[in-house]
Each structure stands twice: as C-alpha cells, then as structure tokens.
Amino acid sequence: MFPLKRRKFNFSEKRSDSNRSEKWTPSSADRLEKKILILCPFPIGVAAGQRLKYEQYFNDWEMQGYTTDVSSFMDVKMWNIVHLPGHHIEKIFGTIRGEIRRFKILLKLREYDLIYVFMWVTPFGTALYERVVRKLAKRLVYDIEDNILLTQTRPCLTYHPNSWIAFLKGRSKAQFLASSADYVITSSPFLNDVCLNLNSKKACTYISSSVDTNRFLPANKYLKGGPVIIGWTGTFSSRIYLDSLKEVLLMLAKRVDFKLKVIGNFDYELPGVELEVVRWTIETEIEDLQTIDIGVYPLLFDEWVLGKSGLKAIQYMAIGLPIVATNVGTTPLLISHGVEGLLVKSQEEWVNALEKLVLSPELRRELGQAARRKVVEKYSTRAVSSAYRGVLKTVMDNGKA
C-alpha cells in the first residue's frame, strides 16, 4: 500500500465543531484543485511542532481548493517506541520502513503542484533525498522549526533516549532546503534573518505557532483554596529547561506555599517541592493546562533557543495564565513585561516574580486576562491562517510550472 494519508477530514485526530468558525470561504475562482504533498517526520496529530503549526490549517487549505496528502517518515508504530529507552531492533526496523516510504514517494512527486517539507525529507546521511525532491518538485515550501541550521550539539539531547545517533543526522539537509526552496517558513524572527541570508530567492516568512482559541479556553478563577499551582508542560527533550528551575523552585518553597505540576512524557522528581506529574495526552491536554495557576517558560541563553517559536508560552496565554518566562529569543516578542507576564533573567528574578504571582490573585488575573486577549488577537489560528494562505498563493503564482 502506498503510504499516503489523504486529507478529507478522515484522520484519527479529533476535530471540534469550533474549528469551523475559523474557516475562510473562498470565491469560486479560488476553488481550482491544487495538489499539495506534505513530507514530515512524524504521524499526524502527535507532535506539537507539527500539530500546532501547519497541521491545524489543513481544513483551511482544503476550503481554498487544495487537496493535501501527508507522508510521514515515521509511522505510528515507530512513534510509540521512539521516545522510550532501548527498543533498538524496533527502532532500526522503523527507520528502514521510513527510508522505504521515502524512496517510494519519489516516484509520485511530479503528480503534485507543491511539495511542503517540514524539517527534512530523511533524518540521516547526506542531503541526497532533499536534492532529489528539489529537482522533482514543481514548487517547494520548506518549514523549519528550531535552529537546526546550527552545527553545535543541541542542549535538548541531554535527556534524549536516542542521543547516540545524533552524529548520524545530516547537517547539510536544512541548509540545502533553506537555500533552495521557493519559500521558507521559519519559527522565529532570528531564524528568519538567518534563512533570508541563505535563500536564493530571499523568500522567507516568520509564522508563529498558534492555537485554536475556541478550544484552548480559560477556566481559571484565579482565586481558590489550596496551594497555587505552578505548571510546566513539555517532553523529555525539553526537560533540560525545566531542570534549570530546580534551584529556583527549592528557594521559592522556603518562602511560599505552592505545588509544581509537570505535564509531560517522562517521570520527574524534585524532593523539597510538592509535585504532581501528569502524563500528557491529546485528550486531556487542555483540561490539564486549565488546572494551572501560573505557567513557567524557562529557557537557556544559547543560539538554539533563538530558533524557538514560544509555543508553550502561547498555550499558557490562550488558557489565560500569567507567565514567568526567560527574557531571551522570541519570548519578549510574545510577552510584554508586566502586561501579559513577567520576563526574568537571573535566579533571583525568577524567585521574586513567582513569589509575587503566588501571593497576588489579582495580579494573576490581570496578567492572565491580558495574555488571553493578546493570543486571540495575534496568535490564534484565526489570526495566523492568512499568513499560510499568503505563502501558498505566492508560491503557486510564482513557482515553476
């Protein structure tokens, strides 16, 4: 069976009726069918970098007359074990299945009006597959997340169960795609500037991560019994950022009463701090976020962070949470200090900001409500959808025939 998923609203991920309110109705002239093939690393609906970026606009694209197919390198069977330690034989066979899928897809590329590549075509080796896709694609859009153009070791590999294979990953892939694509979509303004210098057509646009604000709804009353809940959500690969707050949280625990809630896909311990660890699931994602009183978004001061889109911050803001975040990279673009959240740099600033919010329900309400308003205005799917439409229209109008 040829490994494609046809986007006709028949995938396993759930669609809420509220999504329909964010649809754009095209004119009859816009309804000429155009075929898009998405080449991406992960199955539909499981990875936040895909799910809360371009995946949530498939419905919108089809309303414009695009027929969208998806071919992921990794299948669901591989996804279910890739984040676990061990399982080396299963991971090897999963990688082989992915390579076979990619080889087969090359035979179909000319059938599509536009090829949309997220991150890379294959994860390992040289840029051979990327070069073949560029040669055969009538039009090519490249969507790059994080600063993968860096040749330095990524800090998030510290806890990665497959970090030993990092040296196998092709470092020239992203650079080739960024330079040769008809259009590049980037995850941060910093990364956009880098890609503008690389891309031969100088065609690059920063498009923020976004959320459906009809689904991500506030439920926080800001004043309640029991300890204030400070929350963090992420995966094992971003655990290093949570760990950077250990000393801060231990110092805070000596000053005020609070509970730390970690929503992720790994176990976590922090003796000296009241802690609740919740396994992330797509079914309970929003409900779990709604139990938090303060969202934290810690980052490190390095070049990798400069490519981050700030997705976690946007999720917190959509839920109406006040945020304390590291003042680096895209964060100050998303959050105005003292308006939607508090931006900090040092451990002392972290402790003081968190203490202030724990002790002041009114301040939590003021910042949280302002955060919600900003996301609805600038980072909702309704606000961001036109940016994707603009890229697709530009490429379809100006790309190769």
pLDDT at residue 28 above 50?
no
pLDDT at residue 12 above 90?
no
Task: For the chain, give the percent of residues with pLDDT over 90.
Answer: 70
pLDDT at residue 224 above 80?
no
* Residue 52 contacts residue 85 (beta carbons within 8 Å): no
Distances (CA, A) of 333 to 222, 238, 306, 308, 381: 25, 21, 12, 12, 18
Place of tokens 């210098």: 197
Beta bridge partners of 183: 141
User: DSSP letter string over 71-127?
Assistant: EESS-HHHHHHHTSS--HHHHHHHHHHHHHHHHHHGGGGGG-SEEEEES-S-SBSSS
Span 91-139, pLDDT tens digits = 999 999 999 999 999 999 999 999 999 999 999 889 999 999 999 999 9
CA–CA distance, 276 with 297 (Å, rounded to integer)? 17
pLDDT recorded at residue 29 = 43
Span 173-196, pLDDT tens digits = 999 999 999 999 999 999 999 999
Place of tokens 């995946």: 55
pLDDT recorded at residue 222 = 80
- Please determine whether the domains at 5-210+381-398 and 228-379 fall in the same fold group of CATH: yes
Nearest to 263 by CA among 241, 279, 281: 279
For range 229-235, the mean pLDDT: 93
- Reported confidence tier of residue 49, pLDDT bands at 50, 70, 90: confident
* Residue 153 contacts residue 169 (beta carbons within 8 Å): no
For range 17-39, the mean pLDDT: 58
Q: Where are the beta strands (DSSP E) in 110-268?
A: 114-118, 140-144, 183-186, 204-206, 228-233, 258-264
CA–CA distance, 92 with 342 (Å, rounded to integer)? 45
Per-domain residue ranges for the chain?
5-210+381-398, 228-379
Nearest to 12 by CA among 41, 37, 36, 46: 46
- Reported confidence tier of residue 169, pLDDT bands at 50, 70, 90: low
How do strand 34-40 and strand 66-72 relate by DSSP bridges?
A: parallel
pLDDT recorded at residue 360 = 95
CATH topology of domain 228-379: Rossmann fold (3.40.50)
* Residue 46 contacts residue 79 (beta carbons within 8 Å): yes
For 5-210+381-398, CATH number? 3.40.50
- Reported confidence tier of residue 23, pLDDT bands at 50, 70, 90: very low
